[in-house]
A and B are shown apart, each in its own frame.
Chain A
Amino acid sequence: MRRPSPPAHDHEPAASGLRTEGLSFTYRDDLVLKELDIELPAGRITAIIGANGSGKSTILKNLARLLRPTTGAVYLGGQAIHRLPTRSVAQQLAVLPQAPQAPEGLKVRELVRYGRHPWQGGMRPLSKQDEAKVDEAIALANLEDLAHRPVGSLSGGQRQRAWIALALAQDSPLLLLDEPTTSLDLAHQFEVLTLLERLNRERGKTVVLVLHDINHASRYAHHVVALHDGRVVAAGPPREVLTADNLRTVYGIEVRLIEDPVSGGLLCLPVG
């Protein structure tokens, strides 16, 4: 039986921890997030789970400074993220939004090269080092053969890998992803999650992702944050968070949890 393996630190673990303090977020008079104190462990994979409308994407957007908290704050390496220059945040934290769109005709390598923007600024052409980082990101995402194809011509899974490669070229210790597996078929979901697992294991990247599928969270995450109605129901290792009680609160259904014969984690079966 294999537990989700603790990260082997081939690289330095992320120095820049990410946490929230009293984070509330209001959208059109609706309190979407309610005074959240969340800690995202460095060098680990954290999955944020919750029902539709529970605020899980909103948390991710706040963590990535795409949205600004109504009250409270997000701290990156001990500093309020909204006070930091956006470019220096981009050097520490890459974010993959939900269902991103590339302009028509943009090639994979062209997209991935944008990942160097936080490091080289507006006008200068990419340096040799930048190009090397781009090559590396393309290789990591297994896209060498597709580098000169337009992003729009790729399959869903390949496209998602191209966007992940863009985030990798950013060379940040933190990687935030908003539902990276949604609308992918089984094989492509597996491909994307395995890639993220590898990045965490081999590169020591801190990965934070919003997931729909509890079984994905159980299998790939070291740390799970379960949300209901803008509040944290439970946070901790998958075995502690993914209990029948918690899942009843989060999703409002009865589940049975059994041992997963493949990953050694838990498998969640809805029973009604």
Chain B
Amino acid sequence: MSRPLALAIVLLLGATVLSLNLGSFRITPGELLRTATGRGDANQELVLYRIRLPRLAMAVLVGVGLATAGAVLQGVTRNSLADPGILGLTAGAGLAVILLIYLQERGLAAPPGMRPVVAFAGAGLAAAVTFLAARRRGVVLPSQLLLAGIAVNAGLSAVTLVLSMRLDRKLYDQAVTWLAGTLVGRDWQQVLALLPWLLVLLPILWARSRPLDILALGDGAATGLGVDVRGERAWLLLAAVGLAGSSVALAGGIGFVGLLGPHLARRLVGPQHGRMLPLAACLGALLVVTADIVARNLLRPTELPVGVVVGAIGAPYFLYLLARAGREGEV
């Protein structure tokens, strides 16, 4: 295990404890231990097991999913700016959810668990449109993928905006919070909806880290080394879309995690995916858990959407990178 990965795991454990402690109802580490061993009071048990733990689990899973998806998308497109947001996935999920809220307001009866399903379908559809738009002669071109994604994003966001303006005040707030990304009220059922995606897709992607490394050398070199470039790229993209789509479906449009986790990981352990993917996943989880702590406690009792906090942490990091790159003359 690389040292940065060990450090990231320790930090993640620290953030986990902190996340369980802090909130409008404080649980001290001692109480935490007592509750965990079945000697806490009813309130503590309720807060810990029904509210904070599922929410924490969700933060970890979403962070892992988005960061891994981002790393894979960046590897496949050979562009370090590719992430679920830029490929239109987030916008697709957003439009689908707003549409659902809009139709429900107009009397559509939908079961309460519909939102993630609809969001996932929206993310998948948007990804499909992006990939179709980036095709030339039946091949998805990495160079076209970002442009297509930006176009799809712009289109979907415009429609989303029009729809959300027609919502009444309360539903509008709900919609905006969802678009910004939120972990409020996440329960075990939702955790269990997301978990299988990660359990299946993460091992697959980790096992493909060598072909991912080789794809980064360019199509010609990768073909020369015996990688089936088209097939490999198609499966990797599909897996990344599944991972990102499921995360976005359950937590909304949390941005930046897919950019920041992989970026930081690459700086710390280099570009090889065997070492970079696990670290990116850990850093993604650390970022979302930390952002959630801030989101819940900064303006207590008001809660910020976690996506807003992630953005507030992520944007300065990229500005710092830009300033550094400007000085050193590199990117």
Contact = CB atoms under 8 A, between A and B. Distances in A.
Interface of A: 61, 64-66, 86-91, 93-97, 100-107, 110-111, 114-115, 117-118, 122-123, 166-167, 170
Given A65-B223, A90-B226, A105 B211 contact: no
A102 B270 CA distance: 12
B210 A66 contact: no
A118 B220 contact: no
Interface in B33-66: none
Given A87-B226, A117-B226, 4 more contacts: A64-B220, A103-B216, A114-B213, A118-B226
Interface string B261-272: 000001100111
Interface residues of B, number: 23
Report, nearest first, the 7 A-B pairs whose CB atoms are least far apart. A90-B226, A97-B220, A87-B226, A95-B224, A118-B226, A103-B271, A105-B270
B217 A170 contact: no
Interface of B: 207-208, 210-211, 213-214, 216-221, 223-228, 266-267, 270-272
Contacts of A166: 221
Q: Is the interface of A mostly helix, strand, loop or mixed?
A: mixed
13 contacts: A66-B220, A90-B225, A97-B218, A102-B217, A103-B271, A104-B271, A105-B271, A114-B213, A117-B210, A117-B225, A122-B210, A122-B211, A123-B207
B207 A122 contact: yes
Contacts of B266: 104-105
A128 B218 CA distance: 28
A97 B224 contact: yes
Contacts of B210: 114, 117, 122-123
B29 to A, nearest CB: 39
Given A101-B218, A107-B270, A64 B213 contact: no
A264 B193 CA distance: 75
A62 B216 CA distance: 22
A91 B226 contact: yes
Contacts of B213: 114
Nearest to A114: B214
Contacts of A65: 223
A115 B226 CA distance: 10
Contacts of B267: 105
Nearest to B206: A123
Nearest to A107: B270
Contacts of B221: 95-97, 100, 166
Contact of B218 (A61, A100, A111): A100
Contact of B208 (A87, A122, A167, A170): A122
A123 B270 CA distance: 19
B224 A94 contact: yes
A78 to B, nearest CB: 20
Nearest to B330: A104
Nearest to A106: B271
A110 B272 contact: yes
B271 A86 contact: no
B225 A66 contact: no
Nearest to A98: B220
Contacts of B214: 114, 117
A202 B228 CA distance: 32
* Most chain B beta-carbon contacts within 10 A, residue among A87, A88, A94, A105: A105
Contacts of B208: 122
B271 A66 contact: no
B228 A86 contact: yes
B224 A90 contact: yes
